[in-house]
Amino acid sequence: MTDIEKTIEIEVMRYHPEQDASPVFKTYRIPYASDQSVLQGLQYIKDYIDGTLSFRWSCRMAICGSCGVMINNQPKLSCKTFLRDYYPGKIRVEALQHLPIERDLVIDATDFINKLESIKPYIVPREARSLEQGEYLQTPEQLARYEQFSSCINCMLCYAACPQYGLKPEFTGPGVLALLHRYNADSRDGARADRMQIVNAEEGVWGCTLVGYCSEVCPKQVDPAAAVNRNKVNSTLDYFLRFLMPGGGESG
């Protein structure tokens, strides 16, 4: 049988909080092609079968991070996940776990955005420089300290994978803590002391229980678990240095 004759079933979670008591699942049968993504499958449903289906997407290139969903109970980018990975079985698509649902597969990212903004996710210059002084330079070794953590695309898959965030939503969470580490480890940045208050807080790194699934599901090979572990060390050093050095320490 050629691809043009094949079909595949996609079971999609449907939920309108303002009118539904709980989510329900609806099954759609669509044409199968081995080069099609799950996102394209959802787009086919919306374009040709049920225009009321709601989901997010933008770039279709695993860069924007907006198309994250649960696919057969695993957090994945739907644009980077292909129908061929599940054919001939049925695919179940749900909204990301642990996050409020606005409608169908669309989650409310307010909590994540608030936490992201709280860490100052940008470089706060360690020292002021004029345009005449030129750019802030770094060595390759300085870049290597934070480079992998800068690849985060804010897709929130790690939040759907994190059991601790599911149990305690006040936990800052893996993605935001990884980005916090990215800026604290940057030699050009001067806001480390402010961010360490978040690291040291009860809902900071000490809320992590070291499951590590956040790193497994990251589509950009960021390692949030490693960032959290490094900052547990930094938090411990920060605690002791406050007693040894006037004004606190600057552990790296």
Q: What is the mean pLDDT of residues 204-222?
A: 96
pLDDT of residue 250: 52
pLDDT in tens, 150-208: 999 999 999 999 999 999 999 999 999 999 999 999 999 999 999 999 999 999 999 99
Q: In the predicted model, what is the mean pLDDT of the chain?
A: 93
pLDDT of residue 2: 60
pLDDT of residue 181: 97
- Surface-to-core class of residue 134, CB atoms within 10 Å of its CB (0-12 exposed, 13-18 middle, 19+ buried): exposed
Arch. (CATH architecture) of 110-244 = Orthogonal Bundle (1.10)
Residue type, 10: I
Residue 249 has pLDDT above 70, yes or no: no
pLDDT of residue 38: 98
Q: What is the mean pLDDT of residues 74-97?
A: 97
Nearest CA to 116 out of 75, 57, 173, 56 is that of 173
To the nearest whole percent, how much of the chain has pLDDT over 70? 95
To the nearest whole percent, how much of the chain has pLDDT over 90? 86
Q: What is the pTM of this model?
A: 0.90
Q: Which two tokens stand for residue 250?
A: 């600057």
Band of pLDDT at residue 77, cut at 50, 70 and 90:
very high
Q: How many CA atoms lie within 13 A of 67 on its CB side?
A: 22
Q: What is the enclosing helix (H) or strand (E) of 114?
A: helix 110-118
User: Taking the domains of the chain in order of start, what are their residue ranges?
Assistant: 3-107, 110-244
Residue 244 has pLDDT above 90, yes or no: no
Band of pLDDT at residue 34, cut at 50, 70 and 90:
very high
Instruction: Tell whether domain 3-107 is in CATH 3.10.20.30.
Output: yes
Q: What is the mean pLDDT of residues 41-69?
A: 97
Q: Which two tokens stand for residue 1?
A: 């049988």
Higher pLDDT, 199 or 248: 199
